Amino acid sequence: MKKRIAVLASGRGSNFQAVIDAIAAGTIPAACEALITDNPGAYAIERAGKAGIPVRVIDYRSFSSREAYERSLLAAMQEVDADLYVLAGYMRILGTDLVRSFSGKMVNIHPALLPSFTGLHAQRQAILHGVKVAGCTVHFVDENLDCGPIILQYCVPVLDGDDEDTLADRILEREHECYPEAIRLFCEDRLDVIGRRVRIRS
Ligand code: GRF
């Protein structure tokens, strides 16, 4: 049976688009039921509009406290009642209670080979550190930042002439392959989480 997924994005939403396209192509056996965003100016909203996906804007700035914002976000997520919540460039750190409510049902993509270079500007961190291989990681979300069990990692070379932007572009191309693939595996019920390790059933 088709899974129901919801995407959370704050910005341009190119990974969201890759997921929309993979669903439309029949690669991911799912329906995207909602885009949830904290940013009323997110380009992801236009992408959702074109694909006919309902949008929920939960504007962080319109809340008096972080707790009030999180309550509203939690309610919106529960209302959608998705099988999988996909963080795609969602720029707010989610509170522990919210993350626990969706344990095993929320995934994130990070533009680095975790556990290296967590947090913001991962590609810049990779350049500054001088690594020769970089990439992206799709992982389940747990209470710690960029830390949950790893589902897939794709790598790219770091070239001598690279700067943060050229490396980010090369990684992003792979993100657009890695994320739909990881979501497909989830939607096909092929992921077993054993401690920190995720086994992919064939
Ligand atoms: C991507 O690099 C993703 O890995 C990171 O945020 C960026 C989002 O890009 N978490 P986009 O909005 O999907 O284009």
pLDDT 10s digits, 76-92: 999 999 999 999 999 99
Q: Which domains does the chain have, with CATH numbers?
A: 3-192 (3.40.50.170)
Residue 36 has pLDDT above 90, yes or no: yes
Residue 85: alpha-carbon gap to chain centroid: 8
Mean pLDDT of the chain: 97
Work out which ligand 1 atom sits closest to the CA atom of 108: 10
What pLDDT shows up at residue 93? 87
Nearest to 152 by CA among 116, 190, 109, 117: 109
Residues 55/49, Cβ–Cβ less than 8 Å: yes
In percent, how much of the chain has pLDDT > 70?
Answer: 100
Beta-sheet strand order (sheet of 106-110): 55-57, 30-37, 3-8, 84-87, 106-110, 133-140, 150-157, 197-200, 191-194
Residue 69 has pLDDT above 90, yes or no: yes
Rounded alpha-carbon distances, angstroms, from residue 108 to 49, 52, 129, 138: 23, 23, 23, 6
Ligand 1 center from residue 101 Cα (angstroms) = 24
Q: What is the dihedral of CA 84, 146, 53, 22, to 10 degrees?
A: -80
Across the range 98-124, mean pLDDT stands at: 97
Ligand 1 center from residue 110 Cα (angstroms) = 7
129 assigned to active site: no
Work out which ligand 1 atom sits closest to the CA atom of 44: 12
Residue 97 has pLDDT above 90, yes or no: yes
Residues 148-188 have pLDDT tens digits of 999 999 999 999 999 999 999 999 999 999 999 999 999 99
What pLDDT shows up at residue 1? 83
